[in-house]
Amino acid sequence: MAEPNTKPVIVVTGGGQGIGKAIVLYFAERNYDVAVLDVNLENAIEVSRQAKGLGADALAIHCDVTDRKSVSDAYDEIGAHFGRINVQVNNAGIFVRERIEDFTDEVCDRLIDVNLKGVLNTSRAAIKLMKDHPGGSIINAHSILGQFPDFGLGVYCATKAAVACLTRVLAAECAPYGIRVNGYAPSVTDTPMVHHIIEERPTAKLDQIPMREFGKPEQIARICWFLATDLSEYTTGIGIASDGGAWAVQRPFKAWEAAGKL
């Protein structure tokens, strides 16, 4: 089929809110066409409307990343409309805090299905549309909790550690097709998924962050821009943290006490 235009195309899962929304709009503003995939179609439609206002050709698609048929249908629609994918951002994820002994099977399976299998499902579908267009980029949502696990988050942390490992393997497997694979690893970023943590325990969380401020979705979008463009043309198989220095040392608040600013 004839490609409708030559603008690069970015696909963002979980693009209907939070970090995903910020990534969609950041790229739309910079001359990318966008596909907004989300399990909440209303959110995806609203974000695509905003992207169109920035000049992008935008698709809003209902997609459950845990359902292979839903993923297959979504990427068939992307292929029919755009003919290609230049950047795939596997952003969709869920967050549940529960001790391992208290997890229900349903919650455990849901975390693994969304956070890990979802990345596998959409990556496999995207690669089929990227292989004939060298220079592509796949970007996965890691987490600093994948490296530094926390009490009550065993299953969540395990899924994110697995995604970081998957990123490295995909980087090697996709290199022959000119596709780079990297990730971004936020700490507490002010999004709907974790806003309750910021409201409930602001001081305790800030004490873990040397820069003493919470992350913003736009900061992740800028990292994705770096990873998607030729600014990082020789970078693959890594994860970039956006965490204000969280976990750099055990007690970062001590530096603020010593400086007389806490």
Q: How far apart are CA 186 and CA 99, in angstroms?
A: 22
User: Is there a catalytic annotation at residue 26?
Assistant: no
What's the angle, vertex CA 225, arms to CA 219 and CA 230, rounded to 5? 145
pLDDT, tens digit (0-9, with 9 covering 90-100), for 20-32: 999 999 999 999 9
3-state secondary structure of 188: coil
pLDDT, tens digit (0-9, with 9 covering 90-100), for 72-123: 999 999 999 999 999 999 999 999 988 999 989 999 999 999 999 999 999 9
In a domain, 115, yes or no: yes
Q: Is the dihedral of CA 30, 32, 35, 41 positive or negative?
A: positive
Q: What is the pLDDT of residue 124?
A: 98
Q: What is the pLDDT of residue 207?
A: 86
In the chain, the percentage of residues whose pLDDT exceeds 70 is 98
* Count of other CB atoms within 10 angstroms of residue 12: 30
In a domain, 1, yes or no: no
Give the chain's domain count: 1
3-state per-residue secondary structure call for 134-175: CCCEEEEECCHHHCCCCCCCHHHHHHHHHHHHHHHHHHHHHH
In a domain, 257, yes or no: no
Of residues 176, 174, 177, the one with CA closest to residue 237:
174
Checking if the pLDDT of 179 tops 90, the result is yes
Dihedral angle of Cα 44, 50, 55, 58, to the nearest 10 degrees = 10
In a domain, 195, yes or no: no
Of residues 19, 1, 7, 2, the one with CA closest to residue 139:
19
What's the angle, vertex CA 145, arms to CA 142 and CA 27, rounded to 5? 30
In a domain, 145, yes or no: yes
pLDDT, tens digit (0-9, with 9 covering 90-100), for 192-215: 777 777 787 788 888 888 889 888
Q: The whole model's pTM is what?
A: 0.92
In the chain, the percentage of residues whose pLDDT exceeds 90 is 76
| Under 8 Å between Cβ of 139 and 170 | no
Q: What is the CATH number of the domain that holds 94?
A: 3.40.50.720
pLDDT, tens digit (0-9, with 9 covering 90-100), for 148-172: 888 899 999 999 999 999 999 999 9
What is the token pair recorded at 54?
A: 């920035």
In a domain, 261, yes or no: no
What is the token pair recorded at 70?
A: 């839903």
Q: What is the pLDDT of residue 192?
A: 76
Q: What is the pLDDT of residue 4?
A: 53
In a domain, 3, yes or no: no
- Out of 26, 32, 75, 156, the active site residue is 156
| Under 8 Å between Cβ of 183 and 93 | no
| Under 8 Å between Cβ of 155 and 211 | no
In a domain, 253, yes or no: no
Structural domain including 71 reads 9-189+216-248
